[in-house]
Amino acid sequence: LTTSEVAGGPAPACVLGIDLGTTSVKTALLVRGKQGQVVAESCSRETQAHTSSLEAGPQGMEQNVQKIIKALNECLAALPQQQLQRVSHIGISGQMHGIVFWKKDKGCKWTECDTGSTFEPEEVSHLITWQDGRCSPTFLSSLPLPQSHISLATGFGCATVYWYLKKSPDFLKSYDAAGTIHDYVVAMLCDLKKPLMSVQNAASWGYFNCRSKSWNTDILKKSGFPVHLLPEVGDPGSIAGKTICAWHGIPKGTKVGIALGDFQCSVYFCLTERTDAVLNISTSAQLTVSMPLGFQPPETPDPSSAVTYFPYFNGDYLAVAASLNGGNVLATFVDMVAQWTEELGLQVEKSAIYTKIIEAALAHNNSKLSIHPTIFGERHVPGQLASVTNIAVSDLTLGHVTRAVCHGIVENLCSMLPVQHLMEMGVRRILGSGSALARNEVLRQEVARIFPFPVVYGKDVDAAVGAAMVMFHRK
Ligand SMILES: Nc1ncnc2c1ncn2[C@@H]1O[C@H](COP(=O)(O)OP(=O)(O)O)[C@@H](O)[C@H]1O
Ligand SMILES: O=C(CO)[C@@H](O)[C@H](O)[C@H](O)[C@H](O)COP(=O)(O)O
Interface confidence (ipTM) of the complex:
0.94
Predicted local confidence at residue 319, as pLDDT: 97
Q: Are 90 and 15 in contact (CB under 8 A)?
A: yes
Give the pLDDT band (50/70/90) at residue 303: confident
Looking at the CA of 49, name the nearest ligand: 1
Q: Which amino acid is at 317?
A: Y
Of 3.30.360.10, 1.20.1600.10, 3.40.50.300, 3.30.420.40, which CATH number belongs to 14-263+463-472? 3.30.420.40
Mean pLDDT within 285-289: 97
436 CA distance to ligand 1 middle (Å): 5
Contact (CB, 8 A) for 65 and 73? no
Confidence of residue 36 (pLDDT cuts 50, 70, 90): confident
Buried b (16+ CB within 10 A) or exposed e, 261-275: bbbbbbbbbbbeeee
pLDDT over threshold 90, residue 475? no
The binding-site residues of ligand 2, defined as CB within 6 angstroms of any ligand atom, are: 21-22, 95-97, 130, 204, 262-263, 282-284, 286, 322
Report the candidate in 82, 462, 415, 408 with the shortest Cα–Cα distance to residue 261. 462
What's residue 6's pLDDT?
Answer: 38
CA 211 vs. chain centroid, Å, equals 23
Closest ligand 2 atom to the C-alpha of 94? 12
User: What is the average per-residue pLDDT within 342-358?
Assistant: 97
The tens digit of pLDDT for each residue in 246-268 reads 999 999 999 999 999 999 999 99
pLDDT at 30: 96
Output the pLDDT for position 362. Answer: 98
Pick the ligand that lies closest to the CA of residue 152: 2
Q: Is the pLDDT of residue 310 over 60?
A: yes
- According to DSSP, residue 374 is labeled -
Q: Is the pLDDT of residue 219 over 60?
A: yes
pLDDT of 2 > 70? The answer is no
Ligand 1: nearest atom to the Cα of 435: 17
Sign of CA dihedral 453, 456, 460, 466: negative
Q: What is the pLDDT of residues 70-83, one digit of tens each?
A: 999 999 999 999 99
User: Mind listing the pLDDT tens digit for each residue in 388-416?
Assistant: 999 999 999 999 999 999 999 999 999 99
Residue 12 pLDDT greater than 80, yes or no: no
Of all protein residues, the one whose alpha carbon is nearest to atom 12 of ligand 1 is 436
Q: Which of 105, 86, 67, 220 is nearest to 157 (CA)?
A: 220
pLDDT tens track for 323-336: 999 999 999 999 99
Average pLDDT over residues 23-33: 95
Q: Does the global pTM surpass 0.90?
A: yes
- Rounded mean pLDDT of 137-144? 97
Q: What is the 3-state secondary structure (H, E, C) of 175-210?
A: CCEEECHHHHHHHHHHCCCCCEEEHHHHHCCCCEEC
Pairwise CA distance, residues 52 & 48, whole Å? 12
**Whole-number percent of the chain with pLDDT over 70:** 97
Nearest ligand, measured from the Cα of 68: 1
Distance 113 CA to ligand 1 centre (A): 29
pLDDT in the model for residue 7: 43
In the predicted structure, residue 459 carries a pLDDT above the cut 90: no
pLDDT value for 458: 75
Mean pLDDT across 123-146: 97
Supply the pLDDT for residue 366: 82
| pLDDT tops 80 at residue 129 | yes
Residue closest via CA to ligand 1's atom 22 equals 283
Question: What percent of the chain is predicted at pLDDT more than 90?
Answer: 91
Q: What is the pLDDT of residues 205-215, one digit of tens each?
A: 999 999 999 99
Catalogue the E-assigned strands of 99-171.
99-102, 108-113, 116-121, 124-128
Say how many Å lie between the CA of residue 21 and the centre of ligand 2: 8
Q: Ligand 1 centre and the CA of 360: distance in Å? A: 18
Q: Whose CA is nearest to atom 20 of ligand 1?
A: 21
**Band (4; pLDDT cuts 50, 70, 90):** very low
What value does the mean pLDDT of the chain take? Answer: 95
Ligand 2 centroid from CA 291, angstroms: 19
Pocket lined around ligand 1, Cβ cut-off 6 Å: 21-24, 282-283, 327-328, 330-331, 351, 354, 434-436, 439-440
Write down the domain spans for the chain.
14-263+463-472
- H or E stretch covering 471: helix 462-472
C-alpha 109 to ligand 2 mean position (Å)? 29
| pLDDT, average across residues 155-166 | 98
Chain Cα centroid distance, residue 400: 30
The predicted pLDDT at position 264 comes to: 97
Pairing of strands 232-234, 196-198: parallel
Q: What pLDDT was estimated at residue 34?
A: 85
CA-closest candidate to residue 50, choices 27, 76, 28, 21: 21
**pLDDT surpassing 50 at residue 3:** no
Please check the confidence at residue 444 and state whether its pLDDT lies above 80: yes
The rounded Å distance from CA 95 to ligand 2 centre is: 5
Measured in degrees and rounded to the nearest 5, phi and psi for residue 467 equal -65, -35
